[in-house]
Amino acid sequence: MLHVDSLVLTVTDPDTGQSTEILHGNSFALGAGESLGLVGESGSGKSMTLKCILGIEPSGARVTGSIALDGTDLLSAGGEELRRIRANDLALIAQNPHGSLNPVLPVGRFLVEGMSDARSLPAAEARTRAAELLRQVGITDTERVLRSYPHQLSGGMLQRVVIAGAMSGEPKLLLADEPTTALDVTTQAEVVAILDEKRREHGLSMIYVTHDLDLAAAVCDRLAVMKDGEILEIGTPEEIRDRPKTDYTRALMSARPQLYPEGSPEPALGGNTPALGGDAHANTEDRA
Ligand SMILES: Nc1ncnc2c1ncn2[C@@H]1O[C@H](COP(=O)(O)OP(=O)(O)OP(=O)(O)O)[C@@H](O)[C@H]1O
């Protein structure tokens, strides 16, 4: 459903006029319902890849190559078409949930406004639906949460709200950019488990950006290892574990000894990927 081909991102400094190539011709594809982890150290180009897909790269940037979503090239799509695709087919779950929510609107309004038929929906029905969305992400005191403003809720609660909102739009592709980094460790585990569960339930494709290889192995079908703006290799978590193609991947793994302890046939935090077997919730609980 997503085909990224020879993606190059070049940014020009407006003051000096100097151009820097940030992404160096990356290609990857993602099937319907599949999840791909973009893994690499800080500055490797993970977030910029997502920004190119969303069409929110920095000003002065030039993007070449192609990014085709179900056959439509997002790089050549016109303003209105791109706006429609971004609104309907793509959903971003960013690191900081506050950035996704309007601070002066209660959470209930955020959820209702995200509903595709919000305008034609009677208020009571919209409210009932919003409460149901919250229940689906494990929130039980829905009335209180719907009435609350973002600053009145914890980061973990807000990220659940953002996930609920993302699911309600029934996008084709979820783009998760370190969605739990800003949360405390126990909450991280819960939020990852909910995101993973809901994504699978809805059959959504996902790109999950993280510097955390073991987390990516737990929630993704395949991993793309990035370094300095380049995808070095792509493979299933087992392929990356058993047959890493680069020293960089080996170094990333050795920096995460708990992922593949010596003598272990499977990653300790192993993954809920079909290939590895296991349970996402259990794995992420373990991480906590
Ligand atoms: N607005 C910008 N203008 C120019 N260059 C930028 C801009 N934002 C980021 N970069 C550069 O792009 C490169 C890739 O950054 P990116 O944010 O994609 O990395 P990342 O892998 O997501 O890292 P992190 O895990 O720290 O978010 C880095 O060298 C960074 O300095």
In the chain, the amino acid numbered 141 is: D
Please state, in angstroms and as integers, the Cα–Cα distance from residue 107 to each residue in 101, 119, 148, 180, following that order. 8, 17, 6, 19
Which CATH code is given to the segment(s) 30-57+78-89+174-287?
3.40.50.300
What is the rounded CA–CA span in Å between residue 197 and residue 159? 15
In this structure, which residue's CA is closest to atom 2 in ligand 1?
A: 58
Judged against a pLDDT cut of 70, whether residue 278 lies above it is answered with: no
**pLDDT average, residue stretch 223-229:** 97
In this structure, which residue's CA is closest to atom 30 in ligand 1?
A: 43
Number of helices (H), then strands (E), belonging to the chain: the values are 11, 10
The confidence score (pLDDT) of residue 23 equals: 98
Please state, in angstroms and as integers, the Cα–Cα distance from residue 50 to each residue in 36, 53, 138, 207, following that order. 12, 5, 27, 8
In this structure, which residue's CA is closest to atom 1 in ligand 1?
A: 58
Least confident of 8-22, 86-100, 105-119, 160-174: 105-119
Which segments within the chain are labelled E, that is strand?
Answer: 2-12, 19-30, 35-39, 61-69, 72-73, 90-93, 173-177, 205-210, 222-227, 230-235
Among residues 180, 191, 115, 103, which one has the least CA distance to residue 149? Answer: 103
> Which is more confidently placed, 235 or 271?
235
Report pLDDT digits (tens) over 173-213: 999 999 998 888 888 889 999 999 999 999 999 999 999 89
The confidence score (pLDDT) of residue 256 equals: 63
> Which is more confidently placed, 264 or 84?
84
**pLDDT average, residue stretch 265-275:** 34
Least confident of 19-28, 111-120, 222-231: 111-120
- Using the structure block, give the residue that is written with the tokens 């793994």: 253
Report which ligand 1 atom has the smallest distance to the Cα of 11.
4
**Domain definitions of the chain by residue range:** 30-57+78-89+174-287, 96-170
The confidence score (pLDDT) of residue 156 equals: 93
Cβ atoms within 10 Å, residue 122 = 8
For residue 47, the CA-to-ligand 1 centroid distance in Å is 7
Report pLDDT digits (tens) over 118-148: 667 888 898 999 999 999 999 999 999 999 9
Judged against a pLDDT cut of 60, whether residue 50 lies above it is answered with: yes
What is the rounded CA–CA span in Å between residue 282 and residue 30? 26
In this structure, the residues whose C-beta lies within 6 A of any atom of ligand 1 are 11, 22, 40, 42-48, 58, 211
